[in-house]
């Protein structure tokens, strides 16, 4: 046991009486738009963050006004599946309570932004009325479980989705606090009456993320997750899953003890063992994760410090049986397949490109209205992808023409006729809502891509898929450290450029240039893109090319992320 004091959040959890704190009282106090410091930590477990509009900060400061507080709600959708009715309800709430947009997140969830405190309870209640919830969408618990959003391309996808839903249900916190506070559920008098059999009173040391992938697609980016299951198909049947542990991307600029890390594949389990393995991985992390330092509390550090072999042995001990040997699998990419696809049953799916995951009407492109109209007639479902895009899924032969007509009417039918670079882009939310953003991302990456597109055209690379991701800070919400081209904010209009990520999301990238501003981006990237166009080998991906040609060295694992950076990466003093 460490003799270092526990982090402040541990005390908040202990005092909270299973996540209640004084949230109910805080909501009733309408003299302020904010909640107490402790309750701001606790509402994360209920799926909400207190934020403020950072665009308005300077003006409000000038006029000596409080910050413009509001709340973000993250709606959990295991495997990213939503019914048309749930889409319609979310869309309605976006107008009625939020800022008129829906954000499709990198973990297949909906986010609503800009909800004022007096509307928070009503919004969460209406989310639940629509058979969705926000519990455990954030906080030190297992979050939204991801899964390939193509559940019916084969029967394997359907089985994988079922497993994702089972894991999600099994790991949902048992506290009645959520029901009491938001849904006016009956009050439980004593905390002793309830138990969290998996988490215990202090939940996990930190957030926990799980995903399931069906190779060859790694669109859910398994290597960025605390725990992943990789479907292994043998003789056309699901034999089971490889188990990968210890991935995570967040780090802090200038603190080398923090680093992104890719998950290690440690064994194999049968479909019947999946939920048990998930539970026991969570328990090992519950018991051994570092509760003294939140910057060192994720499973990736537990595994990095104690070793993969230690973790595998401990997991086997918790399970009471051994995981099997890892089986062969291959990932080819981590992007989405856009436009129409038809599955083995002859059912159709349309994947729509949604820039930055923001569903909004803009002049000339009424995407949000179009999707609402589609939801009104659609008889299948919607699938959010982990790349912030949207699949209108399960469209029968008879219904396809009607959906197609609406796609055309609202300008969405050719959403995928864009450069392959843009289609392979992700941007995190960043400004103005994210409290941690150091720079723009969602509002800026589209412009960066526009500038780069002219170069791609010139070099004949328009149809070459190169993953490009931008985040406003190094927490990694847009998974920039797995991109072939990653921009990570360091300050207003200042980005670190990372190159060399694996095209299938299997390798971390490496710092190529620190502190680029808008005017540096094109001159820095253009010669590399030109060299790629002229000198690449047959089938060579951009991330592999920049390593072969020595622009950066390959990052082997997280502890090597800050090593072997070329001196020219740093601007001259
Ligand atoms: Fe994230 C914190 C947005 C996926 C790593 N993330 C935040 C907060 C809540 C900021 C905060 O703590 O105040 C951001 C809210 C912004 C806003 O205004 O909405 C935020 N994260 C997002 C989303 C919405 C980005 C997006 O544009 O899609 C994603 C929501 C996913 C979901 O539905 O659950 C999102 N965040 C991720 C991912 C990607 C993933 O999980 O595949 C990561 C990297 C993987 C990982 O966890 O290591 C990620 N977010 C973080 C971290 C760093 C964690 C760490 O271990 O260091 C933070 C900061 C923290 O936890 O202290 C963070
Ligand atoms: Fe905010 Fe940073 Fe996450 Fe972007 S990466 S959403 S700026 S915490």
431 CA to middle of ligand 2, Å?
A: 9
Nearest to 217 by CA among 203, 205, 194, 233: 233
CA–CA distance, 141 with 135 (Å, rounded to integer): 10
User: Mapped to the 3 state alphabet, what secondary structure does 173-207 carry?
Assistant: CCCCHHHHHHHCCCCCCCHHHCCCCCCCCCCCCCC
CA–CA distance, 23 with 560 (Å, rounded to integer): 42
CATH number of the domain at 505, please. 3.30.413.10
Claim to verify: residue 178 and residue 74 sit in the same structural domain: yes
Choice among 103, 206, 207, 479 that is catalytic: 207
Q: Is residue 326 part of a domain?
A: no
477 CA to middle of ligand 2, Å?
A: 5
Claim to verify: residue 219 and residue 359 sit in the same structural domain: no
Nearest CA to ligand 1 atom 13: 435
Claim to verify: residue 209 and residue 303 sit in the same structural domain: yes
Q: Is residue 251 part of a domain?
A: yes
Residues with CB under 6 A from ligand 1: 49, 51, 72, 74, 105-107, 109, 111, 143-144, 207, 209, 221, 224, 248-250, 298, 357, 388, 428-429, 433-436, 475-479
- Is 418 labeled as catalytic in the residue annotation? no
476 CA to middle of ligand 1, Å?
A: 7
Claim to verify: residue 119 and residue 253 sit in the same structural domain: yes
CA–CA distance, 383 with 405 (Å, rounded to integer): 20
Q: What is the mean pLDDT of each run of 10 residues along the chain (573 residues)?
A: 88 97 96 97 98 96 94 97 98 98 98 98 98 97 94 82 97 96 78 80 98 96 98 95 98 98 98 98 98 98 98 98 98 95 92 98 97 98 98 97 98 95 98 98 98 96 98 98 98 98 98 97 98 98 98 96 97 75
Q: Is residue 61 part of a domain?
A: yes
- Ligand 2 nearest-atom number relative to CA 437: 7
CATH number of the domain at 374, please. 3.90.480.10
Nearest CA to ligand 1 atom 4: 477
Give the ligand whose atoms come closest to the C-alpha of residue 107: 1
Give the ligand whose atoms come closest to the C-alpha of residue 474: 2
433 CA to middle of ligand 2, Å?
A: 10
- Ligand 2 nearest-atom number relative to CA 435: 1
- Ligand 2 nearest-atom number relative to CA 429: 6
Nearest CA to ligand 1 atom 8: 434
Tokens of 473: 């800070």
- Ligand 2 nearest-atom number relative to CA 480: 5
142 CA to middle of ligand 1, Å?
A: 13
Choice among 76, 291, 428, 469 that is catalytic: 428
CA distances from 372 to 91, 196, 465 (A): 7, 39, 30
Nearest CA to ligand 1 atom 7: 477
- pLDDT, residue 573, reads 60
- Phi, psi for residue 92 in degrees, rounded to 5: -65, -45
- Is 434 labeled as catalytic in the residue annotation? yes
Does a cis peptide bond (omega within 30 degrees of 0) precede residue 216?
yes
Choice among 138, 147, 269, 477 that is catalytic: 477
- Is 138 labeled as catalytic in the residue annotation? no
Give the ligand whose atoms come closest to the C-alpha of residue 49: 1
Please say which residue of 254, 288, 319 terminates a domain. Answer: 319
- Ligand 1 nearest-atom number relative to CA 44: 9
CA–CA distance, 526 with 516 (Å, rounded to integer): 14
Claim to verify: residue 295 and residue 346 sit in the same structural domain: no
Nearest to 261 by CA among 5, 462, 479, 1: 479
Tokens of 520: 């540096």
CA–CA distance, 179 with 494 (Å, rounded to integer): 44
pTM for the model stands at 0.98
- Is 269 labeled as catalytic in the residue annotation? no
Claim to verify: residue 249 and residue 357 sit in the same structural domain: no
Please state the domain count of the chain: 3
138 CA to middle of ligand 2, Å?
A: 14
CA–CA distance, 215 with 190 (Å, rounded to integer): 47
Nearest CA to ligand 1 atom 54: 250
Q: Is residue 414 part of a domain?
A: no
CA–CA distance, 212 with 79 (Å, rounded to integer): 9
Q: Is residue 172 part of a domain?
A: yes
Claim to verify: residue 89 and residue 203 sit in the same structural domain: yes
CA 73 to the chain's CA centroid:
15
- pLDDT, residue 152, reads 63
Q: Is residue 330 part of a domain?
A: no
Nearest to 439 by CA among 485, 483, 470: 470
Claim to verify: residue 154 and residue 77 sit in the same structural domain: yes
- pLDDT, residue 195, reads 83
Instruction: Report the 10 Å Cβ neighbour count for 496.
Output: 20
Angle at 43 (CA atoms; ends 194, 480), nearest 5 degrees: 120
Q: Is residue 148 part of a domain?
A: yes
Please say which residue of 409, 436, 451 terminates a domain. Answer: 409
438 CA to middle of ligand 1, Å?
A: 14
428 CA to middle of ligand 1, Å?
A: 8
CA–CA distance, 460 with 123 (Å, rounded to integer): 48
Please say which residue of 409, 430, 448 terminates a domain. Answer: 409
Token pair 């991302």 is found at: 441
- pLDDT, residue 192, reads 55
Nearest CA to ligand 1 atom 15: 434
Choice among 20, 44, 74, 372 that is catalytic: 74
477 CA to middle of ligand 1, Å?
A: 4
Q: Is residue 333 part of a domain?
A: no
- Is 428 labeled as catalytic in the residue annotation? yes
Tokens of 573: 């003093």
Claim to verify: residue 380 and residue 425 sit in the same structural domain: no
- Is 409 labeled as catalytic in the residue annotation? no
194 CA to middle of ligand 2, Å?
A: 35
Choice among 209, 372, 510, 513 that is catalytic: 209
Give the ligand whose atoms come closest to the C-alpha of residue 206: 1
Claim to verify: residue 270 and residue 349 sit in the same structural domain: no
Strand pairing class (468-471; 425-427): parallel
- Is 143 labeled as catalytic in the residue annotation? yes
Task: Name every residue whose Cβ is closer than 8 Å to that of residue 319 and which is 6 or more positions away in sequence.
Answer: 273, 276, 277, 280
Claim to verify: residue 313 and residue 386 sit in the same structural domain: no
- pLDDT, residue 150, reads 78
Residues with CB under 6 A from ligand 2: 428-430, 434, 436-437, 441, 471-473, 475-477
Domain residues for 463?
Answer: 420-569
Please, are residues 438 and 254 in contact by the beta-carbon 8 Å criterion? no
Give the ligand whose atoms come closest to the C-alpha of residue 109: 1
- Ligand 1 nearest-atom number relative to CA 442: 27
106 CA to middle of ligand 1, Å?
A: 9
Nearest to 368 by CA among 357, 380, 381, 379: 357
Claim to verify: residue 378 and residue 452 sit in the same structural domain: no
Residue of 228, 251, 475, 561 to test ligand 1 pocket, by largest number of atoms within 8 Å of CB: 475
CA–CA distance, 338 with 385 (Å, rounded to integer): 11
CA–CA distance, 15 with 118 (Å, rounded to integer): 25
CA distances from 22 to 16, 181, 230 (A): 8, 10, 41
């Amino acid at each position: 046991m460490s003799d270092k004091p526990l982090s402040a959040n541990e005390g908040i959890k202990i005092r909270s009486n299973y996540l209640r704190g004084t949230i109910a009282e805080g909501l009733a106090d309408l003299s302020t738009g904010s909640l107490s410091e402790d309750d701001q930590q606790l509402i994360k477990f209920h799926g909400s963050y207190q934020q403020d509009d950072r665009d308005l900060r300077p003006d409000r400061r000038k006029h000596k006004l409080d910050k413009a507080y509001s709340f973000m709600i993250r709606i959990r959708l295991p495997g990213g599946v939503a019914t048309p009715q749930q889409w319609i309800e979310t869309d309605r709430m976006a107008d009625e309570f939020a800022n008129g947009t829906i954000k499709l997140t990198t973990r297949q969830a909906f986010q609503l932004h800009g909800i004022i405190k007096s509307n928070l309870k009503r919004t969460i209640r209406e989310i639940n009325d629509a058979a969705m919830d926000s519990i455990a969408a954030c906080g030190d618990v297992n979050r939204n479980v991801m899964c390939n959003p193509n559940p019916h391309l084969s029967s394997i996808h359907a089985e994988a989705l079922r497993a994702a839903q089972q894991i999600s249900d099994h790991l949902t916190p048992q506290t009645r606090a959520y029901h009491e506070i938001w849904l006016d559920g009956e009050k439980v008098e004593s905390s002793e009456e309830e138990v969290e059999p998996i988490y215990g009173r202090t939940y996990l040391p930190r957030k926990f993320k799980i995903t399931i992938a069906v190779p060859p697609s790694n669109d859910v980016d398994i290597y960025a997750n605390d725990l992943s299951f990789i479907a292994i198909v043998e003789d056309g049947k699901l034999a089971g899953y490889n188990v990968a542990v210890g991935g995570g991307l967040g780090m802090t600029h200038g603190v080398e003890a923090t680093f992104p890390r890719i998950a290690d594949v440690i064994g194999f389990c049968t479909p019947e063992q999946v939920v048990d393995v998930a539970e026991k991985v969570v328990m090992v992390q519950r018991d051994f994760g570092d509760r003294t330092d939140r910057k060192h509390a994720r499973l990736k550090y537990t595994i990095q410090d104690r070793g993969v072999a230690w973790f595998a042995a401990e997991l086997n001990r918790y399970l009471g049986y051994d995981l099997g040997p890892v089986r062969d699998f291959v990932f080819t990419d981590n992007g989405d397949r856009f436009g129409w696809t038809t599955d083995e049953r002859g059912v159709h799916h349309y994947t729509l490109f949604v820039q930055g995951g923001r569903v909004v009407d803009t002049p000339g492109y009424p995407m949000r209205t179009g999707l609402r109209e589609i939801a009104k007639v659609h008889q299948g479902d919607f699938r959010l992808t982990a790349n912030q895009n949207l699949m209108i899924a399960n469209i029968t032969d008879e219904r396809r023409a009607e959906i197609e007509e609406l796609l055309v009417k609202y300008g969405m039918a050719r959403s995928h006729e864009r450069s392959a670079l843009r289609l392979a882009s992700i941007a995190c939310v960043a400004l103005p809502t994210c409290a941690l953003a150091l720079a723009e991302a969602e509002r800026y990456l589209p412009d960066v891509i526009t500038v780069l597109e002219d170069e791609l055209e010139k070099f004949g690379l328009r149809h070459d898929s190169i993953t490009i991701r931008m985040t406003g800070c190094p927490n990694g919400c847009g998974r920039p450290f797995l991109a072939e081209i990653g921009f990570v904010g360091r300050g207003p209009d200042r980005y670190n450029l990372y190159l060399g990520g694996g095209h299938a999301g299997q390798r971390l990238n490496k710092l190529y240039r620190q502190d680029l501003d808008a005017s540096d981006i094109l001159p820095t990237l253009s010669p590399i893109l030109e060299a790629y166009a002229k000198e690449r080998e047959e089938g060579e991906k951009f991330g592999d090319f920049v390593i072969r040609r020595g622009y950066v060295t390959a990052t082997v694992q997280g502890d090597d992320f800050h090593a072997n950076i070329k001196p020219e990466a740093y601007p001259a003093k």
